[in-house]
Structure 1
């Protein structure tokens, strides 16, 4: 890795006397996995989808578990921005705000430029920025747009999550609007949404940058290896910073329909560890399975479960790669959690061994059960969402098990909302022992900070 220039403000922040000052470092490396929207029901259903009721997802085998409270500073039900910000900064944040204390959300409008202005909150240092200031390599990987709420909360500070062009320019070293707290730059960046980094063109790139900047070229000018495909990523060698944006527009594909030019989350995780792990000071890596959330918003349970399994495979890959480097994980902490729940539930007493995506069947006869109106129904349903017919019709197995089936909802809404319930956390490795009980999402930041010895 190249020499790192420390930000004086961040160095002062990370060295300040506080609750964790003087804590003995236990972890040289931290990998933080965030399953966006991966609530407890999604974990249970994905477990059954993958291997049956008696099976376990890989991360469910971790030694430490906790229950996380997810409310934001201003809402009982959080959105992704303040929840991820709580994990990254240790403070409660208002909905839609990216890693800023006491900031009120201000929508950027069509320009996509932050309108925060002076006197509206202050940037709060993230664990990624603190790690960078201590000389560690850092990375952020996601299946969403790189400027989306979860990854942005690791390296950016804006008053609204939709200020995508401002978020993008905050991670390009040397350019206008760069976040100086990142020192010489984030070492590994991967995700989608290349249009937020490239000039607007009415025909070829209508959602491109209105300021005309080509941030991908600016990355290259700063010495980054720039990748647009899986093959590009695989060819990258240790020793240079790396940015890979694998879709020209929007997020990456769902895993079960992924185009061959896009890497899987497991492949992105493996490459990130390869690039970061050579730093003698260690590293911090954030990995998001962001498409879990997208599928749940669309009440597409099959995709949500498939994305959860793909996320689990990425975690398994990380554990294997780190055990090859650090066999007992004596220097590595791996944390897996979610930012919020959703409204999906399992209902109706399905028989053990039944496909979790199927209609509910009678235990004795095997025939589909009926609701009070004499209609069949699926095991998985949602509290709200767009698929809420005025009059329910029968659902057969062929339909329910189809790739494009959208589960029904109890309350009609434009799209399914987040749920306000607690989520699970799983941890393994150095400094994992304190992750237990029912805790605030903000406490996770302090536990990671203490594990690093900051």
Structure 2
């Protein structure tokens, strides 16, 4: 084969690869907030044991993702999620802006809520998100989360702001035709499901964390043709069109452990139910869709060193992945599952195979391992956080397996911090072969963008 034949063959191969890379009609990006490698391992042990696999782990392609931000070794959720959605490294607290943007915390309004946006017009510039690029290509888009809809991870799909805490200003960016609207979203985000209705509704005696500007963004969205729903049954009744679902008056949705405890009385949809509905509403678009789904409360439970609720929410995310895989055609839909950052939880000791991960470390006879002072210790502990006893005392299996138990920590802090470790990514569908090896979180953006041909 001469050099011209080789060149021609190489050109065809590259063209073929490019074609394959742009074969995805749809993308679903799952984010387990704070779901670092130890959380994944612990979730696997909690759900299916040592030899089982989580649904996400069954996806055929895997990678390891570096998560540092532009200005910090250990990132917060704002720049780490924004790295996935924009391909740009940002400073901690910043969402959807250029790397030179300085984080400026919002001020408090007359009602004491942090709703005054101090972002100056000369403080950095917005950078395009995958959601905006998908909209420009005629695709439908959605963001689903168990946190407030204005929280860092969902906000990074549709907003540009110099500080993640400016939740009231973030909400404005999702409202077509209103002041502050992000016009790059064209006619708006098609599916928005999460919590924190107070950021979208006006201040009142009954809504003390409401908007000081008096705007009712839920009404403004309804005037634009959106369905507005506030509970599980109402969401189930939406058959088509655009939808805003806010399932908590203030703050986030319930932890899945608590939602399950409510049983039939639960009014909040599960993450699986929200995911299924979002797919149903987005899929009819012949041009395809981009959907982000976040299991956000994994992170919150970890900050409180409450491993049981963290693992239950990680299982809920895994069930949402299973739900999505059962609804989509992997010949046209790229599914990516990853985390935005790590945490300080670790799995320690030499527990026997089959030992419950939320229990004490025990040998195969069921005898607990003992520390230097003769006290049992748990399989899961945290590097830092709010539960560092001055003197360790004897723990029991019943005590450490309780829903509200907080694992012990090495360094006393009011809230456990993120960890700076790499996180895992799993993928299947068109373009998934690009997700292998170790690479930066900003490169995830490029691989998804290429898969969609944007």
Of the candidates 95, 105, 108, which is equivalent to residue 106 of structure 2? 108
Partner Cα distance (2:367, 2:287) in 1? 61
1:134-283 superposed matches below 5 A: 134-201=137-204, 203-238=205-240, 240-258=241-259, 260-283=266-289
CA deviation map 1:378-409 (0-9, x unaligned): 00000000000111111110101111111000
Matching of residue 93 in structure 1 with residue 93 in structure 2: no
Alignment pair present for 1:305 and 2:311: yes
CA contact (8 A) 1:139 1:188 kept: yes
Is the contact made by 1:347 and 1:380 (CA closer than 8 Å) also made in structure 2? yes
1:216-235 deviations in Å (ceiling 9; x for gaps): 01110000011011111000
Give distance in 2, aligned partners of 1:366 and 1:277. 51
Provide the C-alpha distance between the structure 1 equivalents of 2:326 and 2:150, rounded to a whole number of angstroms. 29
Distance 1:408 1:395 in 2: 11
**Alignment match, 2:10:** none
Q: Deviations over 1:312-353 (max 9, x none)?
A: 00000000010xxx2xx1111000000000000010111110
Q: Gapped runs of 5+ residues in structure 1?
A: 1-19
Q: Distance in 2 between matches of 1:55 and 1:297?
A: 27
Contact 2:302 2:343 in 1 (8 A): yes
The CA RMSD over aligned residues, in Å, is 1.3
1:32-64 deviations in whole A, cap 9, x for unaligned? 000000000011111110111101000100010
Q: Any stretches of 5+ residues in structure 2 without a counterpart?
A: 1-16, 109-113
Aligned twin of 2:41: 44
Cα pair 2:360 2:379 within 8 Å, conserved? yes
Aligned to 1:294: 300
Kept after mapping to 2: 8 A contact 1:191/1:245: yes
Q: Contact 1:357 / 1:400 at 8 angstroms: preserved in 2?
A: yes
d(CA) in 2 for partners of 1:114, 1:278: 37
Distance 1:23 1:177, change over 3 A: farther
Measured in 1, the distance between the counterparts of 2:432 and 2:18 equals 18
Q: If the length of structure 1 is used for normalisation, what is the TM-score?
A: 0.93
Q: 1:113 deviation in Å?
A: 2.9
Please give the alpha-carbon distance, in whole angstroms, between the structure 2 residues aligned to 1:415 and 1:440.
27
Deviation string, structure 1 residues 104-136 (Cα, Å, up to 9, x no partner): 100002242321112111101000110001100
8 Å CA contact 1:230, 1:262 repeated in 2: yes
Deviations 1:289-321 (A, max 9, x none): 001001100000001111011000000000001
Contact 1:265 1:311 in 2 (8 A): yes
Tell me what 1:4 maps to. none
Shift of 1:368: 1.4
In the other structure, the counterpart of 1:71 is 68
Q: Is the 8 A contact 1:79 1:340 kept in 2?
A: yes
| Residues 406-425 of structure 1 aligned to structure 2 (within 5 Å) | 406-425=406-425
Three-state SS of the structure 2 residue aligned to 1:88 is helix
Q: How far apart, in 1, do the equivalents of 2:182 and 2:19 lie?
A: 27
CA distance in 2, matches of 1:88, 1:368: 46
Match of 2:321 in 1: 315
Moved over 6 A (4+): 20-23
Any conservation in 1 of the 2:21–2:431 contact (CA below 8 Å)? no
2-structure distance, mates of 1:229, 1:275? 17
Is the 8 Å Cα contact of residues 107 and 117 (structure 2) preserved in structure 1? no
Partner of 1:453: 453
Change (3 A) 1:399 1:178: same
Q: Distance in 2 between matches of 1:392 and 1:426?
A: 39
**3-state DSSP class of the match of 1:30?**
strand
**Alpha carbons 1:113, 1:164 under 8 Å: kept:** no
Distance in 1 (CA, whole Å) between partners of 2:115 and 2:73 is 27
Using the alignment, how far apart are the partners of 2:121 and 2:363 within structure 1? 62
Q: Quote the Cα distance in structure 1 between the aligned partners of 2:369 and 2:236.
A: 50
Q: How does 1:322-337 map to 2 (within 5 A)?
A: 322=328, 326=329, 329-337=330-338
1:118 aligns with 2:121: yes
- Provide TM-score, normalisation by structure 2: 0.93
Identify the residue that residue 385 of structure 2 maps to in structure 1. Answer: 385
Q: Secondary structure at the residue paired with 2:432? A: coil
Cα distance in 1 for partners of 2:440, 2:356 equals 35
Change (3 A) 1:173 1:308: same
Per-residue deviation, 1:26? 1.0
SS at match of 1:123: coil
**Number of residue pairs aligned between Structure 1 and Structure 2:** 427
